[in-house]
């Protein structure tokens, strides 16, 4: 039986409950321009860059944004997010994830974070999760962001494991689209209908245990 040797995690919405911070930072950045930012957009745009988020919301409001303003608003959104990030503590770890990470670590399963956020190392530090991960991929080191699979392929390469012995966990459509191109076993977390395209779709991080993951992975390997 092919065993799991590594797990690659998205961060926001998988490891940490930080999506409300993104919502508040983006909403407050766009509000002075008369653009409403919704929770639906916040969920749908998980995993894409801050500039692409600003551009997409602007276009969905029926307006065209100049590149200079797009860059400025992306920087402003990040500034607001960094202020909100000061409030992060281990209480922002999603349910069941700390015990799941410990279980993986105790069983010699290697881990990496593949997040579109440039702030991932600081978020992991503030929530007390840095200890779990050998690698946190810097999105600035990539040629293409999610939904391109590059970030996951780079993480797997650094971990040095075969595709079929590696698991990728995502909660956003852009990220899962990328994972589905990698040959890894995929886990989709949450209520987004697109998560049903994963090899294993779960409602909540509570559902993640090593035993359940190994069982699903084994069934996937033999089909």
Element (H, E) at 202: strand 200-202
Phi (first) and psi of residue 113, to 5 degrees: -110, 130
Q: Which of 12, 17, 171, 199 is catalytic?
A: 12
12 labelled catalytic: yes
C-alpha 207/C-alpha 191 separation (Å) is 13
List, as one string, the DSSP characters of 116-143.
S-TTHHHHHHHHT-GGG-SEE--GGG-S
Residue matched to tokens 């919301």: 57
C-alpha 48/C-alpha 183 separation (Å) is 21
10 labelled catalytic: yes
| Peptide bond just before 222 cis, omega within 30 deg | no
Which of the residues are catalytic? 10, 12
């Amino acid at each position: 039986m092919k065993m799991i040797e590594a797990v690659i995690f998205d961060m926001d919405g998988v490891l940490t409950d930080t999506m409300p911070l993104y919502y508040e930072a983006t909403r407050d950045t766009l509000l002075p321009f008369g653009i409403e930012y919704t929770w639906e957009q916040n969920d749908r745009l998980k995993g894409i860059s801050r500039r692409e988020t600003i551009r997409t919301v602007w276009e969905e409001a029926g307006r065209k944004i100049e590149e200079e303003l797009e860059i400025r608003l992306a920087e402003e959104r990040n500034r607001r997010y960094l202020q909100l990030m000061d409030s992060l503590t281990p209480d922002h770890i999603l349910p069941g994830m700390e015990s799941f990470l410990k279980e993986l670590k105790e069983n010699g399963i290697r881990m990496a974070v593949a997040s579109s956020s440039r702030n991932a190392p600081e978020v992991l530090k503030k929530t007390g999760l840095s200890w779990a991960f050998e690698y946190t991929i810097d999105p600035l080191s990539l040629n293409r962001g999610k939904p391109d699979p590059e970030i996951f392929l780079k993480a797997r390469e650094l971990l040095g494991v075969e595709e079929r012995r590696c698991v990728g966990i995502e909660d956003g459509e852009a990220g899962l689209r990328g994972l589905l191109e990698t040959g890894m076993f995929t886990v989709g977390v949450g209520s987004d209908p697109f998560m049903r395209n994963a090899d294993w779709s779960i409602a909540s991080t509570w559902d993640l245990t090593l035993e359940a993951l190994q069982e699903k992975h084994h069934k996937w390997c033999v089909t």
